[in-house]
Structure 1
Amino acid sequence: MASEDARYRQTSQYRLWSFSPAQLASVREQTNSLARTNITNRLKASSPPVDPLPDFLTPDEELTLLTFYTVETLRAATHFKLSTDIRATAAIFLRRFYTTNSIMTYPPTELLKTCVFFACKAEGHFMRLQKFVDELPNTTGESVLAAEYVLCQAIRFAFDVKHPFRALDGAIMELRRYAIFAEDRLNHAHMNARGILKFSPLVTDAYCHFTPSQIMFGALAITDRELVEYMMNQVMSGQSDDEKEKVWTVISQCVETLQKEPPERFENYYRSPECSKAMKPLIRKLKKCRDPDRVDLVALQRARKEQGMQKPKPKPAAKADGDVFGSALSEKDREAKRRRVVENGKGVSQSNDPFGGAL
């Protein structure tokens, strides 16, 4: 039987959406550069041409805005009282989308709504579209659905997102089985670690750099390092010190990533005037350098549908007589199809008898 590590390496999350920090930075730089080139060409080709060109967002500025809109995605999912898995999936969909697409190309305020609605589908939660749009201002069902296919293409149809929540539940159950630590301590660690998992890895690049179990151990180590140390010593009792050090190095790196965005910032910072003051200049800059052809996703979707309808359909080729009635029969086929009644061993036809000859 394949190990859990081997099975995880077969998932789309590992194959398509796992990067080293250098690889991820390179992808984002390429995405930003390509968007700048495309938008520049479209602005110059517009009537009248735009001159001078606006200042474009840098990769770091795009990442700052992405973090902000990821928090807004979580806030929208919380407004609908969706489950933790759906909230996390919506946030990861948004971050994956803007890994290979620039915020300057597609409007994030529209994409985050689509991500929340599509995450409900991906996690098997039914929500009526009309009920969804009624809860959001200035939103129509058409605007939510307009970006669905673009979203699916961008995330490469990888709808299954592996989260660390069940891993945390399993780790706490395993610690209870040891019967060493007090129940209150385990409950406190469980609650705090889950609070970290519901925010910190979703607004950072933890899902791109670490496996769900590594993220879980990182969150648990922030809450109570001794629990993780004891559990790792039990699990890796037969391993060498080098192997243990290697695992701890990865967990420590994950801890550093998670601590960049502690869960307290969800309320203390992202709702504060300080955050608004920091984001307003970037949002104003974004509005000036957006892709003119993709600002209105509804109009873009309608134009694509009209192009598909206007595309001439190929005329069917004229069929020959043989295609309709079958090919001409050869003499051999005629002999096989001709019905004969043989009498007394001689080829004498008895077609006058409607019931054929005697048996």
Structure 2
Amino acid sequence: MAMSASTSSTTAAPVPLYHLSSQYRSWRYSEEELARIRTELNEKAVARVRNLWEEEQSSRKDESAPKKAAEQPTLTDEPVPAAATTATNPSPPAPSEIQYLTVQDEQALVTYYLTQVAAMCGAFKYPEIVTATAMTYLKRFYLRNTCMDYHPKNIMLTCVYLATKTENCSTSIDQFAGRIPNASPADILSLEFLVSQSLHFEYKVHHAHVALNGLTLDMQSAGLDAAAITTALPRAQSYCRFSRLTSAELVYSPSQIALACFRLADPTLVDQWLDAKEQRRQKTGKGRAATIPSGGAVDGEGRLPGQPERAQQLGGELEQAEMGPVLDKVQATIVHGQKHPVDKARVKEVDLRLRWARNPEKDPNSALFKKRKAAEEAERGEKEKAKAAKRPAATDDSSVFD
């Protein structure tokens, strides 16, 4: 019997689903990694877009040369005012003079459209989980792409539509697009594969507001003051919703964010809950090894096999003594976001600069886009001719089986 008790006290706890998920293994970063990823993406995009604008201006000159030769004014032609021409079709600045977006510019733009996701889902009366999932998709998309390649206004709509399907709240594309001014089903669906590819086709998201609900139930089961829980919960939920406008979910686990939100709402209540958890842990005789989630053996340093050290540090269960500093960081992230809300004037200025700072290859009105499109169509035509040449003649009986 003594051996049985000893064995049970060292048995590892069941593995939480979150720790088996792609979110834990693929979408968790340190603050430094997050900054590096965004900086590298931005720098590569600026270099690429600058080169493409040089090519775009060269293509525009090639296009305008034959037109100018063909449109020489005669004596009866009336001159077109230069001001009118500039107003309707302004010339882009030189590639070296374009004010390309910085990392901070891109984050301001993405954050603004995160607020628009929340507003849209609220207007459509979608469940909160649809809102949360769509916002996560938008943030993850811009860890693989930049605003200079894809405008968040367009990506946002596809993220919301994908989220409705993921969270079993799907509607037809015609109904969805019909509720959005100046949006067509084709525009939304054309980006669906791109967004899915950028998400690595990992649609499931573990959310802090779900962890918050579980935390509330655990506080109730621990016998904490029900009135205090009821009073703190709405404030904690408000902090949780605001955390979606930050990068918190890309750095911390849903449970850490949920606990930090409750701590912002009522720190005394969280301290009482942590004390209750510690007492329960001591009564069961389970130490740190028993609380580390594991799909198998844990090595001598408490890490799970087959996982990067970074993921271990971010995702491993924390002792109560280590919990405080982590919660302080989460709270600081949320509070900083609240103190620095979206500056609409800045977002508008960034959006205006994006007119020339965006990738011309993605603009259907650009000469480069038309040139690429023409080349693709020509290549497709050549392939069709080659296929047609290989087909048997019409008089050949075998052609009926093609």
TM-score class, shorter: 0.7 to 0.9
SS in structure 2 of the partner of residue 19 of structure 1 = coil
Instruction: String of CA shifts for 1:14-51, please: whole Å, max 9, x gaps.
Output: 11111000000000011101111221121111213765
1:284–1:317 CA distance, 2 compared to 1 (3 A): closer
2: CA distance, partners of 1:235 / 1:227: 12
- On the 8 A contact 1:133/1:140 being kept in 2, the answer is yes
1:253–1:33 CA distance, 2 compared to 1 (3 A): same
Partner of 2:101: 57
Partner of 2:68: none
Q: Trace 1:224-263 onto structure 2 (pairs within 5 A).
A: 224-237=266-279, 238=282, 243-262=319-338
- On the 8 A contact 2:224/2:272 being kept in 1, the answer is no
Partner of 2:116: 72
* Structure 1 unpaired stretches of 5+: 319-359
1:197 corresponds to 2:240 = yes
1:144–1:311 CA distance, 2 compared to 1 (3 A): farther
1:196–1:295 CA distance, 2 compared to 1 (3 A): farther
1:48 corresponds to 2:124 = no
2: CA distance, partners of 1:4 / 1:211: 17
Code of the residue aligned with 1:33 in structure 2: it is E
- On the 8 A contact 1:164/1:212 being kept in 2, the answer is yes
1:27 corresponds to 2:37 = yes
Instruction: String of CA shifts for 1:43-100, please: whole Å, max 9, x gaps.
Output: 1112137651111011111111111111111111112111110000001100110112
Deviation at 1:6, TM superposition (A): 5.9
1:15 corresponds to 2:58 = no
1:108–1:2 CA distance, 2 compared to 1 (3 A): farther
Deviation at 1:311, TM superposition (A): 7.8
- On the 8 A contact 1:164/1:213 being kept in 2, the answer is yes
Pair member with larger Rg: 1
- On the 8 A contact 2:133/2:163 being kept in 1, the answer is yes
1: CA distance, partners of 2:17 / 2:211: 15
1:148–1:311 CA distance, 2 compared to 1 (3 A): farther
Code of the residue aligned with 1:203 in structure 2: it is L
2: CA distance, partners of 1:110 / 1:3: 44
- On the 8 A contact 1:107/1:295 being kept in 2, the answer is no
Deviation at 1:5, TM superposition (A): 5.7
Deviation at 1:206, TM superposition (A): 0.6
Deviation at 1:277, TM superposition (A): 2.1
Q: More relative contact order in 1 or in 2 (CA 8 Å, sep 6+)?
A: 2
Greater percentage in helix: 2
Deviation at 1:310, TM superposition (A): 5.3
SS in structure 2 of the partner of residue 105 of structure 1 = coil
1: CA distance, partners of 2:334 / 2:238: 12
1:128–1:305 CA distance, 2 compared to 1 (3 A): farther
1:59–1:167 CA distance, 2 compared to 1 (3 A): same
1: CA distance, partners of 2:261 / 2:231: 13
* TM-score when normalising by structure 2: 0.69
Instruction: String of CA shifts for 1:108-143, please: whole Å, max 9, x gaps.
Output: 111101111111011111211111111111100000
1:176 corresponds to 2:188 = no
Q: Trace 1:84-233 onto structure 2 (pairs within 5 A).
A: 84-181=128-225, 183-198=226-241, 200-233=242-275
2: CA distance, partners of 1:187 / 1:218: 17
Pairs aligned (count): 305
Code of the residue aligned with 2:198 in structure 1: it is A
Q: Trace 1:248-287 onto structure 2 (pairs within 5 A).
A: 248-262=324-338, 275-287=343-355
* TM-score when normalising by structure 1: 0.77
1: CA distance, partners of 2:230 / 2:252: 25
2: CA distance, partners of 1:2 / 1:145: 45
1: CA distance, partners of 2:156 / 2:376: 23
Deviation at 1:295, TM superposition (A): 3.3
1:233–1:71 CA distance, 2 compared to 1 (3 A): same
SS in structure 1 of the partner of residue 159 of structure 2 = helix
Instruction: String of CA shifts for 1:230-279, please: whole Å, max 9, x gaps.
Output: 11122233369x932211211111111111234x98xxx65xxxx33232
1:19–1:296 CA distance, 2 compared to 1 (3 A): farther
Code of the residue aligned with 1:48 in structure 2: it is R
SS in structure 2 of the partner of residue 109 of structure 1 = helix
* Structure 2 unpaired stretches of 5+: 1-10, 62-91, 289-317, 393-402
2: CA distance, partners of 1:310 / 1:154: 30
1:177–1:44 CA distance, 2 compared to 1 (3 A): same
Q: Trace 1:311-350 onto structure 2 (pairs within 5 A).
A: 312=383
Quote the RMSD (CA, aligned, Å).
Answer: 3.0
Code of the residue aligned with 1:280 in structure 2: it is K
Partner of 2:360: 292
Deviation at 1:7, TM superposition (A): 4.3
